[in-house]
């Protein structure tokens, strides 16, 4: 009996499998971006961004220092020598031979971190910055797992730690000022501005000096575009930037599944209720028939 009936329990699995098959039900893009459903992707063409041109960088690390003081973090020679981002160093200038490259939060247009944060502590703002509210955070660290650039860092040494990452100086940007790193940059390697204008400028530089650059604006298309754009003379992988990053916003991958939940609950409830009704009805009918058969027998006697 069990063998014949049990496949009904596998129905949810089959439903799930069908809904998850590739290319099924593409969710509309504007529904994805973390907490700001109202902002369509076109909003971000008006948003602020940073353009970092590594060929102009002299590795003076003034951006690191400005960033530290802007975010109230300590900065000394020992920290300056660290070539990786951490909870106490939100941006770093990586040196490879005579080449430099900044690493910082990309402030994605459709950030994975904001999409995965269960309490909405991370948010993409209309101006560009992806901000973080430590009072909301419960410390699940899903943002750290989900970030395609592995940017969010954690205060492991503290008893009640916060996530730390570059948030593109949201207070300064809101006041119409540049980010601290762009303001202090002596060579203009880090430039602050409107994202679409910076994209145009980066494209111009690539066209003007084709031999000087790798023909790629990193952050233009990666994960649906980011608010930090990078130009480099050597391949970006040299500095740990992944080249296999999807051009689609990653939140699509989970949203495609999550958006099925309301239907699944309704359908699942109906199917389970239906199966229950059928199995119990069968039993009742069998009972009644048995009783009637008994009565008939008795009647004949």
Residue closer to other proteins, measured from CB, 57 or 143? 143
- Contact segment (CB under 8 A) with other proteins among 46-54, 92-100, 201-209, 247-255 equals 247-255
Kind plus residue range of the DSSP H or E element containing 17 = helix 7-20
- Indicate which single residue of 112, 178, 190, 232 sits in contact with other proteins (rule: CB under 8 A): 112
One DSSP character per residue, 104-168 reads ----BSS-HHHHH-TT--EEE-TTS-EEE-TTT-----HHHHH-TT---EE-TTSSS--EE----
- Contact segment (CB under 8 A) with other proteins among 6-14, 75-83, 178-186, 193-201 equals 6-14
Q: How far is the CB of 244 from other proteins (least distance, A)?
A: 6
- CA-based torsion, 146, 150, 151, 152: positive or negative: positive
When asked if residue 167 is in the footprint of other proteins (CB under 8 A), the reply is no
Q: How far is the CB of 80 from other proteins (least distance, A)?
A: 19
10-39: which residues touch other proteins (CB under 8 A)?
10, 12-13, 16-17, 20-22, 32, 34-35
- Indicate which single residue of 25, 46, 200, 258 sits in contact with other proteins (rule: CB under 8 A): 258
Question: How far is residue 224 CA from its own chain's centroid?
Answer: 10
When asked if residue 73 is in the footprint of other proteins (CB under 8 A), the reply is no
Report whether 102 contacts 90 (CB < 8 A). no
87-106: which residues touch other proteins (CB under 8 A)?
87
| 3-class DSSP state of 259 | coil
Extract long-range pairs of 37-40: CB within 8 Å, 24+ residues apart. Answer: 39/124, 39/126
When asked if residue 289 is in the footprint of other proteins (CB under 8 A), the reply is no
When asked if residue 191 is in the footprint of other proteins (CB under 8 A), the reply is no
């Amino acid at each position: 009996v069990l063998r014949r009936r049990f496949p009904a329990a596998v129905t949810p699995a089959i439903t799930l499998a069908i809904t998850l098959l590739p290319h099924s039900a593409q969710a509309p893009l504007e529904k994805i971006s973390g907490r700001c459903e109202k902002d369509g992707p076109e909003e971000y063409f008006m948003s602020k961004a940073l353009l970092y041109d590594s060929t102009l960088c002299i590795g003076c690390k003034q951006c690191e220092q400005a960033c530290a003081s802007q975010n109230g973090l300590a900065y000394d020679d020992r920290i300056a020598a660290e070539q990786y981002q951490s909870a106490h160093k939100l941006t770093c200038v990586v040196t490879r031979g005579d080449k430099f490259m900044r690493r910082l939060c990309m402030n994605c247009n459709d950030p994975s971190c904001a999409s995965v944060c269960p309490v909405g502590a991370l948010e993409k703002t209309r101006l560009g910055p992806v901000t973080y509210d430590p009072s909301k955070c419960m410390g699940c660290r899903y943002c750290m797992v989900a970030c395609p650039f592995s940017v969010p860092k954690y205060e492991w040494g503290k008893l009640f730690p916060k996530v730390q990452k570059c948030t593109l100086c949201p207070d300064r940007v809101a006041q119409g000022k540049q980010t601290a790193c762009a303001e202090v940059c002596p060579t203009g390697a880090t430039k602050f501005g409107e994202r679409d204008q910076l994209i145009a400028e980066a494209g111009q530089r690539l066209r003007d000096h084709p031999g000087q650059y790798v023909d790629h604006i990193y952050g233009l298309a990666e994960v649906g575009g980011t608010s930090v754009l990078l130009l480099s003379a050597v391949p970006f992988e040299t500095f740990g930037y992944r080249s296999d990053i999807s051009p689609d916003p990653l939140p699509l991958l989970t949203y495609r599944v999550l958006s099925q939940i309301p239907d699944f609950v309704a359908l699942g409830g109906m199917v389970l209720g239906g199966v229950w009704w059928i199995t119990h009805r069968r039993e009742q009918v069998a009972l009644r028939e048995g009783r009637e058969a008994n009565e008939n027998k008795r009647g004949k006697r």
